[in-house]
């Protein structure tokens, strides 16, 4: 049924009224005198707030990079033991100490225990930087989607909100973590192979790994394991940041009103960081085993096929080889990570205010 003339006139009048109403609102928001203009102090305060928000992300990037370097230097030998236990056939090693003993005997102390360190050392700065930047962005996303109370100009996030921000941090980080871990795993496990006289290792270094992987299977081969990396890091990061914040708040000195002052001692930072590392690994270790197997296998393995293969070799227990070294690494490596992050933030605050 076609609209009548009265219907058209009614709709036109409604439209005109709506436009006039919006025009009145716009006009009322425009300053009409000098007194209604924002003061110089207000403009300065808004500019400072904008600069502070922009600087927050950059500082998180820088601090995360410092923390990542500390984590690699302290934790790489533990990580190497974990990966070799995860990827070796059953019976190759009797345990973590056997891996260390045979690695040093075959490859030397530094070269052996730090095999494959070039990939994470080169990649760890952007990897951890993006992680802490993603965490900072995650908190801003939480502020935009939920209610966050503010006290003394500081958002008071709940532990659940911190956990959500931590889970988000894994999303951008996976783009960097997955290929670097693929390279690291392949460099770590190639030292297990007994070379014949005159035989050279398959990979000469991190760049050579990327070159050969790309030649064999393109970008898809370089990024193999990305889905499992995200599946591991999203819940792991949620537990990681939530635990750190909870321990940090528990250990932070309180003022007369019972509010945390934020003046945390370095020893408390170490305890909180170590606890966060342990909390991260406990729920996601089986996923890490699948990821390591997937990234080190020949051919084109699938996630489902890898899970069936691991389970078939030893049941549930087969998903936990290297669990001890992983937890042993988590304590010093993550203590070093957060210590580096906190010290970096303090240094930047002293320099830039």
Pick from 50-64, 152-166, 189-203: least confident: 50-64
Over 90: is that where the pLDDT of 61 sits?
no
How high does pLDDT run on average in the chain? Answer: 83
Distance CA 127, CA 178 (A): 10
Which residues, listed in sequence order, are joined to residue 155 by a DSSP beta bridge? Answer: 150
Q: pLDDT value at position 51? A: 47
**Of residues 51 and 259, more confidently modeled:** 259
Q: pLDDT value at position 69? A: 85
Over 90: is that where the pLDDT of 248 sits?
no
Who's near 307: CB < 8 A, 6+ residues apart? 290
Q: pLDDT value at position 114? A: 87
Distance CA 188, CA 211 (A): 17
* 4-21 average pLDDT score: 62
Pick from 33-42, 121-130, 158-167, 328-337: least confident: 33-42
Pick from 39-43, 219-223, 324-328: least confident: 39-43
Using the structure block, give the residue that is written with the tokens 């403009």.
43
Question: What tokens appear for 303 in the block?
Answer: 């996630």
**pLDDT band for position 345 (cuts 50, 70, 90):** confident
Q: pLDDT value at position 31? A: 59
CA-CA distances (angstroms) from residue 185 to 35, 119, 193, 227? 66, 9, 14, 16
* 249-262 average pLDDT score: 71
What tens digit of pLDDT does each residue of 281-314 get?
999 999 999 999 999 998 889 999 999 999 998 9
* 62-66 average pLDDT score: 83
Burial 115-130 (b: 16+ CB within 10 A, else e): bbbbbbbebbbbbbbb
Question: What tokens appear for 54 in the block?
Answer: 């922009």
HSE-up of residue 84 (Cα within 13 Å, Cβ side): 32
What tens digit of pLDDT does each residue of 201-240 get?
888 888 899 999 999 999 999 999 999 999 999 999 999 9
**pLDDT band for position 140 (cuts 50, 70, 90):** very high
Give this prediction's pTM.
0.71
Over 90: is that where the pLDDT of 47 sits?
no
DSSP letter at 30? S
Q: pLDDT value at position 20? A: 60
């Amino acid at each position: 049924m076609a609209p009548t003339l009265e219907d058209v006139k009614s709709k036109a009048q409604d439209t005109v009224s709506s436009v006039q109403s919006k025009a009145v609102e716009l006009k009322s928001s425009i300053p009409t005198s000098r007194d209604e203009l924002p003061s110089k102090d207000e403009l300065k305060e808004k500019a400072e707030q904008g600069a502070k928000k922009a600087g927050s992300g950059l500082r998180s990037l820088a601090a995360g990079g410092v923390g990542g370097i500390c984590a690699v230097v302290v934790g790489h030998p533990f990580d190497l033991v974990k990966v070799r236990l995860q990827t070796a056939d059953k019976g190759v090693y009797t345990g973590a100490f056997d891996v260390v003993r045979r690695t040093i005997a075959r490859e030397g102390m530094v070269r052996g225990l730090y095999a494959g360190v070039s990939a994470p050392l080169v990649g760890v700065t952007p990897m951890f930087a993006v992680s802490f930047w993603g965490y900072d962005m995650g908190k801003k996303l939480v502020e935009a989607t939920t209610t966050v109370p503010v006290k003394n100009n500081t958002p008071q996030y709940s532990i659940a909100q911190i956990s959500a921000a931590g889970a988000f941090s894994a999303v951008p980080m996976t783009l960097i973590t997955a290929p670097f871990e693929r390279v690291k795993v392949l460099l770590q496990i190639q030292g297990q192979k007994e070379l014949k006289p005159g035989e050279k290792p398959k990979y000469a270094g991190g760049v050579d790994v990327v070159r050969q992987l790309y030649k064999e299977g393109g970008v898809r081969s370089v990024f193999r394991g990305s889905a499992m990396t995200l599946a591991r890091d999203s819940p792991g990061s949620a537990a990681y940041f939530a635990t750190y914040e909870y321990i940090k708040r528990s250990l932070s000195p309180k003022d007369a009103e019972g509010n945390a002052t934020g003046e945390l001692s370095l020893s408390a930072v170490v305890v909180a960081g170590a606890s966060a590392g342990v909390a991260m690994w406990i729920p996601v270790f089986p996923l890490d085993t699948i990821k390591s197997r997937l990234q080190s296998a020949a051919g084109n393995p699938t996630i489902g096929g890898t899970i069936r293969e691991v389970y078939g070799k030893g049941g549930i227990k087969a998903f936990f080889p290297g669990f001890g070294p992983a937890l042993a690494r988590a304590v010093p490596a993550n203590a070093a990570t957060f210590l580096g992050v906190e010290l970096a933030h303090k240094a930047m605050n002293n320099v830039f205010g």
